[in-house]
Chains A and B, each alone.
Chain A
Amino acid sequence: MNNLTIVQAHKGLLEKKFSALELTKFFLNKIKKQDKKISAFITVTDDLALSQAKKVDRLISEDKKIPILAGVPVAVKDNILVEGIKATCASKILENYVAPYDATCIKKLKELGAVILGKTNLDEFAMGSSTEHSAFFPTKNPHDLTRVPGGSSGGSAAAVAADLCCYSLGSDTGGSIRQPASFCGVNGLKPTYGAVSRYGLIAFASSLDQIGPITKTAEDAQIVFDVISGKDQLDSTSVESPKLQTTNYKLQTIKIGIPKEYFIKGMDPEVEKIVRQAIKEIKGMRAKIEEISLPHTEYALAVYYIIMPSEASANLARYDGVKYGLSKPDKDLLGVYLKTRAQGFGDEVKRRIMLGTYALSAGYYDAYYLKAQKVRTLIRHDFDKAFKKVDVIFTPTSPFTAFKLGEKIKDPVSMYLSDIFTASVNLVGLPAVSVPVGSIGKLPVGLQIIGKPFEENKILEISKIYE
């Protein structure tokens, strides 16, 4: 039962090589034994997983047709609500918060009989690029335990890489699915903004957040995306993806854009070499390669680090010690707010709330927030122009491989540079996947494939040539 993809697990269940209960117990056991050294999970949901598995076995024993995700074990990032299970967001402020309902994506998975193994670690409120900002413990990279798994979906990516689940769900605000997928050598899809309902995802930066799958293969990502996507009455920004003919294409007719701004000084030359090699490989299969320019790329990270904390500072105003979560008593209401938030939030969350509050405050709104939203338009125009010439865009996912634990934690700006190749995609709302294309020593390197809106299936289809 080692290293099963979704497709293989489904096949195994159909051919009765193992039961859903056996498969679930296998993973729960493996988590118990191996997660001590990786720390991918915050909560393991044994009871829930076993009861879901038994239901699927009942269907199989009755010879009922089962959906492809039925009985297949999944891990869920701990900022996505699973009814009756703690949703901590890796924060002290939500340490004992129990989700009162299912997120829409979880509801969809449960309806198909998915087996939820547990909730995975993240940077507190998904704010970070290494999972070291978790209020509980850092997660380690399964390829090298002295290194970070990336972040913020570090637990979800490490759990897939260490084969502690068949696939997982993460969330991506500026690279939080793709960068850890790249560091851990797995596939990570950030869907088009609006393609997947955000209902039940603990809000971070609402114009940027998207839920997406982290998987062992592109085919698995297509399967999960197909299930969790779609318009949801409970998220007014969700949309029905237009039915596009994206899987029937010939590689020879595909035009791939390589933006020169994504091969910069300061990036690891070995990473660049591996990504260039991957481009050469697809060129050898007769795809057309064209150098393009996305001239406002150099401003994307600054724009992202203004808009994201601004939205976060507003979203996190809800943690007031009154409605739910941590509450610290004081003599008056203001005192309750001040003390609860002082003790409930970690340093990085405070830093971003402060930054966002500053960018939105009187006298600075025009210079920072509004300016950033205007430059965002220019970044969008860059992609519009590029996509008139090419079908997809190839870039490195990250300028470097997984770094050492502790290496960047003290210097926020150097940590923020981890998002340099991924943040633009969120600002514009495009779909993108990180796919493993090689490694330096033990450390995986990811290629990012960016598509036009709603062309998730096309970028995943193209990424299959690297499997």
Chain B
Amino acid sequence: MEIKREVLSGPPGPLSAGAPGGAPAPLDFRSRQLLARDMLRGDLEGEALERYVEQSVLTTTVEKAVSWSQGNSIWPLTFGLACCAIEMMTIVGARMDIARFGWEAFWASPRQADLLILSGRVSVKMAPVIRRIYDQMLEPRWAISMGACCSSMGVFNNYALVPADKFMPIDVHVPGCPPRPEALMHGILRLRDKIHGHSPDGWRERYEAVGTEEVLEPGEADGTRDAAINVFPGGDTAGA
């Protein structure tokens, strides 16, 4: 049986065809296959080699590459405090599979974990313990405050609880009591966006409300006023 070989040396026809701007048209599959075969054999040289390299290599910055890989393989710490822990366990379950994002490796050791999902109410006795665990985690590390109890005080606004913002920096707050697994999923995907470096402005972009942020006069952040002024570009809403 005769094996037909096609030699693609020199400027091959398909590569030079294309738009007058000079950008080569994408190759069809067979040509790419043959190019790859030549590459593996070491038969490509010169201009063909350069063109091959250009077309098959992704160029980006080191930061973006690193943050892409970090965001797609976060190792959360097994840290369940109360009811939200059960909903956190359900996203490990089969219905809301957290493994499709690469996050299924829950570690018990803080030294090897990236993410601390504070799931549940943080009591006064537990807060120093959590802080210690967070300190034991190595950089880069993130924290999600899951549920209403650790984000704000939740259902229980009393002597026994501490909001997580008081003792550690939190990246994403997920509201809910307990947040549905889909809500927690949304929260962790927002964290992933944040790690990748393109976290959107959220609802203000969607509702074309950019510019309606409440503005405080300089020097007024000390809480001397009861209510913030609502700044609308379209006019004065006195008393609102």
Q: Do A and B come from one complex?
A: no
